[in-house]
Amino acid sequence: MANNKYLPNGLNILFEDRDLIVVEKPSGLLTISSEREKSKTVYASLMDYVKNGQRSKNRIFVVHRLDRDTSGILIFAKSEEAKLKLQSNWDQNVKIYYAVSFGIWEKKEGIIASYLTENKAKVVYSTRDKELGKWSETKYKVIKETAKYSLVEVQLLTGRKNQIRVHFADKKHPIVGDKKYGLTQKERFPRMALHAHSIEFMHPFHEKLMFFRSEIPAFLKGLVGGL
């Protein structure tokens, strides 16, 4: 049982064994520290949890990240070996997200693909230069539409920084509440409508298929009138 004393509000441990910790991250919390934020992160909180809450000398290792305003499933390793094993097969894992985007998609499902790179201002963008960018693929399927919004199921076929956000913006369907790639959004929203819903992966040592799911937040469902 997790000692919630060391965990920020909204951060929940879904699973833990000697090799892994799987958590649900709330929107608004960084995965790891940035130049501006050093302590209020998932990583720092879980380090406190394993060192103080469990009275252990263990540490944790970042396997992947979610943007500050993205909620959902995050995996951390308890050893460098576990981290490297998980990362070596990362693109084979099934990672499902849900997003609410602006507008009605003409093509209701498909794959968005491009080379992604990042400029000095840390803005990710698509490029045709394969020497400059990394190949990225985002599979999507529209689940529900309203006059203004679309709820979209997304499968990450590759895992690049800001990939879903950039690809949706490229298609002129930016994610609701995305302040960085949201083009000219004039409305204010309490959070970005992007959620890491589920992940399926092989345990790094037991060779057991693991599956974890996080409920779609009420904010996303509310934008499209529920599911």
* 67 catalytic residue (yes or no): yes
Integer Cα distance of 158 and 55 in angstroms: 37
Q: H or E element: which one contains 71?
A: strand 71-77
For 117, phi then psi, to 5°, come to: -140, 175
Catalytic residue among 17, 48, 67, 178: 67
Of the candidates 2, 7, 10, 75, the residue with the CA atom closest to the CA atom of residue 215 = 10
The first and second tokens of residue 97, run together, are: 């997200």
What sign for the dihedral angle of Cα 165, 149, 73, 180? Answer: positive
Integer Cα distance of 155 and 94 in angstroms: 7
Integer Cα distance of 204 and 199 in angstroms: 14
Integer Cα distance of 98 and 117 in angstroms: 23
Angle at 92 between CA 19 and CA 61, to 5 degrees: 30
Active site residues: 67
